[in-house]
Amino acid sequence: MASLKSLEYLDVSINNLSGLIPKGLGKLSFLKFLNISFNDIQGELQIERVFRNVNTISVIGNNKLCGGIPQLQLPTCFKAMRSRKSCASRLTITIVCVVTCTLLVSSFLVLYWRKKPKKKPSSEVSNIDLLPTISYKMLHQATNGFSLNNLIGSGSFGVVYRGVLEQDERLVAVKVLNLQTKGAPKSFIAECNVLRNIRHQNLVKILTCCSSINYNGDEFKALVEFMINGSLDMWLHPVVDSENQSKNLSFLQRLTIAMDVASALNYLHNHCEQKIIHCDLKPSNILLDNEMIAHVSDFGLARLLTTTNDSSQKHTKYGVGGEASAEGDVYNFGVLVLEMFTGRRPTNDMFRDGLNLHNFVKMALPKRLVQIVDPLLLLREAIEMGAATTKIMAKEEADNNDDNANEIEVEEADNNEEFMQIDANMQKFLLSIFNIGILCSMESPKERISMEEVIKEP
């Protein structure tokens, strides 16, 4: 190391190193910082170059060092020859210490084994939170070889599969990272770090992770999360002929999911030790459990909210361009709410030439409410309330066959007639929900309400 003439920073702390410090380190003119802490290095500390400044060197944890600059407060070096008497004294002290330590360790072991039978059997301890790092083979088996039939969706840095862990038959979501994507390894580390330190009922719970090699010899990284009912995207936009085609979220289910997501974002923004912004909120990143409770996932793009202006902290928001911010998460939530209750993606082909999902909803309210509500939602609610569904079903069929079904140009009289077909209470709730979606997705961040205000809305 002393021969590296251009060396600027050297950190070899906590490496169990021993012996003397190479004299050549004191001659390196470019060396700005040296950390040799917590080793077993001995001998006299130099006072040349990097060793002259207490702020450029760290030597703590090396009890055999001496000399150096006074600020380090190391003992004075003595070069006198050790006498035989001194050696004998040290040998005696060493033997006494070894014998004492042996007796202490033996006593501890005896006490430990005596108390052990009184403890509960280890089999009674729940292993839900103690699942070790899982192997690639186990994930391969759990997802049936990462079959397309188990594919849930794709996220920012990979794809998500449904899986069943054989050891306890738990349903899980396996998020496999695409390591060819720029930033994917950093995303893996970021997501682990974020989810390791946060706890909320509506944030996805990481069971374990896998960092291994697949059967092709390539690097493989995956996160294993609680699943367990697919993603919100699967329910809002079921693929034709898929097993979810017959599934349909009720009004109450959609409302509950929206409240779950709002609660999770409010926690991230306002109740974490350091504010966290998600940066990538969308239906495919919201997983539903057996009780249809929403869990926000995919923290690969998450950022700790700081005041830094570093360009590395910037990221494009979902829906509009701009820096990553809490207001960006609010915008994404507003778009999510509008998508949930209209059934239309913000990327729908109809949204062009200045028309977007926000304007589409805003222009239709209040009298054209029925024109923008998801037809599947109206159909389900009409059936559950025992209302007449013939006209709504006919409208849904017409919407599916007419290329211009998404246009809002409808006669006013017809609008009023269809508007009355929605239950009065449901009208009130839908208008309130759409209003929140509009307020959250305003173009100007200053005009958007906060997540704390969202959860307080009646």
Instruction: Cite the active site residues.
Output: 280
Measured from the Cβ of residue 158, the count of other Cβ atoms closer than 10 Å reads 22
**Of 130, 219, 125, nearest in space to 177 by CA:** 219
Residues 144, 149, 154: CA angle, nearest 5 degrees: 100
Calculate Rg over the CA atoms of the chain: 32
Distance CA 234, CA 336 (A): 14
Q: Report the sign of the C-alpha dihedral through residues 151, 152, 154, 160, in that order.
A: negative
Distance CA 407, CA 185 (A): 44
